[in-house]
């Protein structure tokens, strides 16, 4: 089977990322650490380290350990709300990290300039066309558009709608990577044909042999189907809940009960609003670590995208990437015939 057409369609993305396959391994807190990230880059794709809540010292060490495992380029995902964002950018600069992915909202003042001064390319999430245009005006180097099928924190719009709204308008100006719900190569081929420079996948890599996720976490993925990966639900307008897609478990049930309890206390004036909101906000604190590292998949947060149903076995990253690329190439060949 010829991969020529696929390679042509990916050329812009691979040139941007400096790798062979225009596929970013979406950063996943606790999962995307040195082993998985190095394995993704070694497979010819582009690994992205998840900084999450790490301190600058921990990030420094993680980048060093990743570099010890791959000579290929990889990126670092930083969360905009991190109180030490500037210091984290400086750590990336010291290591010569070529690509920083900023997640968690629009970049705060000064962050773009600091990243540019560090010589790194900046990738941001664009949750709507208007924001994509604004980010392009702010001189970001590439965009990720991530639909609500994705695992982790999500927006309200599906990948297929975001792709149709955003790709035809901005893909000529800036490389755009499509994420959320991608489990097979046929979908990758489709988004590339629509003008995407590449794609970003998270859920498909959780059960990679090289992933350090706890065996219980991997087992939960292997058992789950698309309908088990549900978005968290807000029960009262006064108590905001940030939507997160995860496998439903005892923890999600208890979260519903917790919201009801807090609402009752609020209504009975036994709780101040600020304290009530804090209790909801803090409910999931540490919950992803509890599931990924400790293996408590009943009470922890088993963040997963709807493509979880297409995760059927534990296999090396290289096999996952090769299968996706073969599927994409075959799909393009069929369409050309």
Query: Could you say whether residue 149 binds ligand FMN (CB under 6 A)?
Result: yes
Give dist(CA 245, CA 325) in Å, integer. 26
> Closest approach of Cβ 158 to ligand FMN, in Å?
11
Considering only residues 83 through 122, tell me which ones interact with ligand FMN, judged by CB under 6 A: 103
> Closest approach of Cβ 25 to ligand FMN, in Å?
8
Query: Could you say whether residue 304 binds ligand FMN (CB under 6 A)?
Result: yes
Residue 18 vs 104, nearer CB to ligand FMN: 104
Binding mask 175-194 for ligand FMN (x = CB under 6 A): ----xxxx------------
Tokens for 230? Answer: 């549900």
Q: Are 49 and 28 in contact (CB under 8 A)?
A: no
Residue 103 vs 239, nearer CB to ligand FMN: 103
Query: Could you say whether residue 259 binds ligand FMN (CB under 6 A)?
Result: no
Q: For helices 4-17 and 317-336, give the axis angle rounded to 10 degrees.
A: 130
Give dist(CA 285, CA 300) in Å, integer. 10
Picking from 239, 275, 278, the residue whose alpha carbon sits closest to that of residue 256 is 239
Give dist(CA 304, CA 247) in Å, integer. 6
Residue 17 vs 262, nearer CB to ligand FMN: 17
- Give, as one character, the DSSP assignment of residue 107: P
Query: Could you say whether residue 50 binds ligand FMN (CB under 6 A)?
Result: yes
By residue count, the chain amounts to 337
Binds ligand FMN (CB under 6 A): choice among 13, 26, 75, 198? 26
Q: Are 211 and 36 in contact (CB under 8 A)?
A: yes
Residue 60 vs 149, nearer CB to ligand FMN: 149
Query: Could you say whether residue 151 binds ligand FMN (CB under 6 A)?
Result: yes
Residue 3 vs 289, nearer CB to ligand FMN: 289
- Give, as one character, the DSSP assignment of residue 108: P
> Closest approach of Cβ 336 to ligand FMN, in Å?
27
In sequence order, what DSSP letters do the residues of 250-275 get, joined into one string?
Answer: HHHHHHHHHHHHHHHHHHTT-S-HHH
Decide: helix, strand or coil at residue 23: strand
Binds ligand FMN (CB under 6 A): choice among 16, 21, 29, 62? 29
| Cα-based torsion angle of the residue sequence 222, 291, 238, 81 in order, rounded to the nearest 10 degrees | -110
Give the interface segment with ligand FMN, choosing from 116-124, 145-153, 318-326, 328-336 (CB under 6 A): 145-153
- Residues that bind ligand FMN in the complex, under the rule CB under 6 A: 26-29, 31, 50, 52, 77, 103, 146, 149-152, 179-182, 200-204, 303-305, 307
């Amino acid at each position: 089977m010829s991969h020529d057409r696929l390679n042509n369609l990916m050329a812009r993305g691979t040139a941007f990322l400096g790798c062979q396959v225009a596929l970013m391994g979406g950063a996943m807190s606790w999962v995307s650490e040195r082993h998985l990230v190095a394995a993704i880059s070694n497979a010819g794709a582009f690994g992205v380290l998840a900084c999450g809540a790490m301190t600058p010292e921990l990030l420094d060490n993680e980048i060093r350990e990743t570099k010890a495992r791959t000579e290929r380029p990889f990126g670092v995902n930083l969360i905009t709300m991190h109180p030490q964002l500037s210091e984290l950018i400086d750590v990336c600069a010291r290591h010569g990290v070529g690509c920083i992915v900023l997640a968690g909202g629009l970049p705060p003042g000064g962050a773009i300039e600091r990243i540019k001064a560090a010589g790194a390319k900046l990738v941001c999430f664009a949750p709507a066309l208007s924001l994509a245009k604004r980010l392009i005006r702010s001189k970001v180097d590439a965009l990720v558009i991530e639909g609500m099928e994705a695992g982790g924190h999500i927006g309200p719009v599906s990948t297929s709608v975001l792709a149709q709204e955003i790709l035809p308008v901005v893909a000529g100006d800036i490389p755009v990577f499509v994420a959320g719900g991608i489990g097979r190569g046929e979908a990758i081929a489709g988004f590339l044909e629509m003008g995407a420079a590449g794609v970003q996948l998270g859920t498909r890599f959780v059960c990679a042999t090289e992933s350090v996720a706890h065996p219980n976490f991997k087992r939960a993925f292997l058992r789950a189907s698309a309908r088990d990966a549900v978005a968290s639900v807000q029960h009262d307008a006064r108590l905001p809940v940030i939507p997160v897609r995860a496998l439903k478990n005892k923890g999600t049930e208890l979260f519903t009960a917790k919201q009801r309890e807090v609402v009752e206390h609020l209504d009975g004036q036994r709780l101040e609003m600020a304290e009530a909101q804090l209790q909801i906000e803090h409910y999931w604190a540490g919950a992803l670590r509890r599931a990924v590292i400790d293996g408590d998949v009943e009470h922890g947060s088993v963040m997963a995208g709807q493509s979880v149903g297409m995760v059927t076995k534990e296999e090396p990253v290289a096999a996952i990437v090769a299968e996706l690329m073969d599927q994409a190439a075959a799909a393009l060949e069929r369409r050309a015939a």
